[in-house]
Structure 1
Amino acid sequence: MTGVSDDFRARLRQPATTLAHAWRVTRTDGEVFGFTDHDEDLAFAGTVFCARTGWTAGEAEAGLGLAAGTHAVDGALSSEAIREEDIAAGLFDGARVEIFRVDWRKPDDHLLIDVADFGEITRNDVGMTVELRGLAARLDRRHGRFYRRRCDAALGDARCRVDLAPWTRVGRIASLAERRLVLEGLGTFDLDPYRDGRLAVGTVPERTVAGLRAADDGTVVADIVEALAPSWAVGDEARVTAGCDRSFATCRERFANGLNFRGFPHIPGADAALAVAKSDGLHDGSAVVP
C-alpha cells in the first residue's frame, strides 16, 4: 500500500482496528464538505470531517477493465450537512468525492482509497442515499447533442425560452393524502396543458403531476407521481406549471415556440433508412409498419 507508514501497517494487521470512513465532497463551485461515520469529528488533509451527519458507507461494486465502479453512501439531510434545497438547486451535481479510510486514534494515518463523482440522489423520509460513480463513468457521459425528433431542452429554461408565468397557476392545499393533493383557489382553466406538468410547494423539490381533474366544489384534484413531502401541510401555497411532451406539435401549437424547438422533427424515419427498391409504396419518413 503506497503512502502507508510502517506503524499504520502494523496496526492494520491487528485483530481489531480503529478505522473509520471519511468522505471529502468538493462541489463544482469550490465549496468543500467533510463527513465521517466516526462518532467524533476528524481533522486531516486540510479538512474537518464532521461526525453525526448520518453518513455511512453502503454497497460498493467494482469490475475489471474500464467498467465503472460504484459506491453508495447514506446520509442525513440537514443544515449541518447537505440540505434538500441545495440538491434541488443542482449545487451537488457532478461534485467530486474522495473516499478515505482513516485511523480515528491517529487521523494523520489515512489512506485515499477511491475518487468518485456524485451520481443519482435518492431521498427518503429520514435522509438520502447517494450513488458515487467511479471516474470511469465519465466515459459513459453524453458529450454534445443527440439528433432526435423530440426536444432536449427543459420547459422554460434558457434554451427553451418559454415564459412560464402565464402557464403557472397558484392556489393552496385544501387536503392531502398519499400521492394526491386537493388544491383550492386555482380558478377555472383548461386542465389538459397541466397534465404531466410540475407542482411546487415552498422550497421542496418539484413533483410531477400525473393527472388533474376538477371537482364539483371548484377544487382541483392532483395526482402526483412521487411521494408527497412530509413538510407539506393544509394551507401551503402550491404552484402548478404546465407540462410539455417535447414534441414539435406541442411546442408550436401550445406554446407558440416553434422557432426555439431544440429537436430535429424532420429527421427521416425508419422507412427511409431501410428503403428497398419496389414499384409501389411511399417513403414519407414514417415508421415501418410490418
Structure 2
Amino acid sequence: MVAFLAKPLVTIALCWRLERRDGVALGFTTHDRDLAIGGLVYRAAPGMLPSSITRSDGFDLDTLDVEGALTSDAITAADLKAGRWDGAAVSVFMVDWEEPEGEILHLARGELGEVSIQGDAFEAELKGPTAALDRPAVEQTSPECRARLGDKKCRVDLAGLTRTVQIVAVASEDEIEVDASAADDAWRYGRLRWLAGANSGLERAIMGSAGAVVTLRDPPALAAAVGDLVELIQGCDRRLATCVGRFGNAVNFRGEPHLPGMDLLTRYPGA
C-alpha cells in the first residue's frame, strides 16, 4: 500500500493522463487546483468522473467509463467528432495532492474506445490491456496482401511515394485539387494527411486521383480549405500483380493468391 493511504487525514487526488495518437497529451485531476506531475500540468477538472474500477489478476476484459464536461480549450465536441481522441492512450491514477511528485497508485490504463456526446458532456469507454486478448491471435488467409503499404511487413520505402502539397481548390466535400499533378490514379488507395488547417493531424483514405484532383473515400471531419498543407501517400490495391509490377516487392507479399477457396468444395465436372 502507498504511504498516503495510511494518513489519518487522506489527501487523495484522482488523475487522468490522456495522450492522443498525434502526440498531444493532456492531464486532468479531481483536485480543486492544478497539479504538476512528471512535467505535465494536470488541470483541475472536478466534472470528470470515472465509473467503479475493479482490479483483478484474471483475464476478464477490463473496461470502465469516464464522463466529463466539454471545454473550449481542452476536450471539444469538434475534436471528438473529428476522431482526434479515438484510440487515445489513457492512464488513471491517484496521488497525494500535498506531494504530487511523490508516490503514485496506478488504477487503470488502456485506450479510449467508443466516445459519445450528450449535450455539454462526453462519455468514453476505456479499454484495458486485456482487451487485446479479444483480438485474433493469427492472421487469416486471403488472396490479397494483408500488409499496409510501407509498414514493417511490406517494407516498401515510402520516401519516394510521398508528396507534400497545398490545396488549391475544393470541388466538393470529398474532392480536392492540389498544386502538383501526378500520373492518373497514382494516389488511389493511398492516404491524405492534413499538416495544417482545421483538420491538422487527421487522415482520410483516397479512393482515386486524376492528375491534380484527389477523391477521398469519406469527407473530412471539418471542411477542407484552399491553402491547407497536406501530405499525399501512395497506396496499393493489395494484388500480387501490383506488388510485382509496380513495387517489385513479391518477396514481402502477405497473401495467398493461388490458394483454393471454399468454392472448391462446390465445383463439379462441367461447371
Task: Note the C-alpha offset of 1:257.
Answer: 2.0
The 1-side partners of 2:240 and 2:44 are apart by 50
SS in 2 for 1:208: strand
Indicate whether 1:190 and 2:184 are aligned.
yes
The 1-side partners of 2:26 and 2:207 are apart by 37
1:181-235 CA-to-partner distances (Å, cap 9, x unmatched) read: 53232225212x4233211232624321234456xxxx525335252457x6422
The equivalences for 1:115-264 within 5 A come to 115-120=108-113, 131-143=125-137, 145-149=138-142, 150-176=144-170, 179-191=173-185, 193-202=186-195, 204-213=201-210, 219-225=212-218, 227-228=220-221, 233-264=225-256
The answer to whether the 8 Å contact 1:25/1:34 transfers is: yes
The 1-side partners of 2:246 and 2:228 are apart by 29
The 1-side partners of 2:19 and 2:218 are apart by 32
Indicate whether 1:70 and 2:63 are aligned.
yes
The 1-side partners of 2:176 and 2:235 are apart by 19
The 2-side partners of 1:51 and 1:42 are apart by 7
The equivalences for 1:11-50 within 5 A come to 21-23=14-16, 35-42=28-35, 50=42
The 2-side partners of 1:210 and 1:49 are apart by 42
The 2-side partners of 1:187 and 1:261 are apart by 29
% identity of equivalent residues: 33
The answer to whether the 8 Å contact 2:153/2:252 transfers is: yes
RMSD: 5.2
Over 3 Å counting, the alpha-carbon distance change for 1:163 and 1:104 in structure 2 is closer
Q: Give the partner amino acid of 1:162.
A: V
Task: Note the C-alpha offset of 1:155.
Answer: 0.6
SS in 2 for 1:259: helix
Over 3 Å counting, the alpha-carbon distance change for 1:200 and 1:225 in structure 2 is same
Over 3 Å counting, the alpha-carbon distance change for 1:160 and 1:60 in structure 2 is farther
Task: Note the C-alpha offset of 1:67.
Answer: 4.0
Indicate whether 1:280 and 2:263 are aligned.
no
Computing the radius of gyration from Cα coordinates, the structure with the larger value is 1
The 1-side partners of 2:134 and 2:16 are apart by 24
Q: Give the partner amino acid of 2:131.
A: A
SS in 1 for 2:145: coil
1:114-171 CA-to-partner distances (Å, cap 9, x unmatched) read: 32312448799xxx9864212432422444x414223232211233122334434553
The 1-side partners of 2:220 and 2:47 are apart by 23
SS in 1 for 2:15: strand
The 2-side partners of 1:172 and 1:47 are apart by 36
SS in 1 for 2:205: strand
Report the TM-score when normalising by structure 2: 0.61
The 2-side partners of 1:107 and 1:160 are apart by 45
The 1-side partners of 2:107 and 2:251 are apart by 46
Question: Match of 1:15?
Answer: none
The 2-side partners of 1:259 and 1:136 are apart by 34
The answer to whether the 8 Å contact 2:169/2:178 transfers is: no
The 2-side partners of 1:194 and 1:54 are apart by 47
Task: Note the C-alpha offset of 1:176.
Answer: 3.9
My pick for the range that moved more, 199-208 or 112-121, is: 112-121
SS in 2 for 1:50: strand
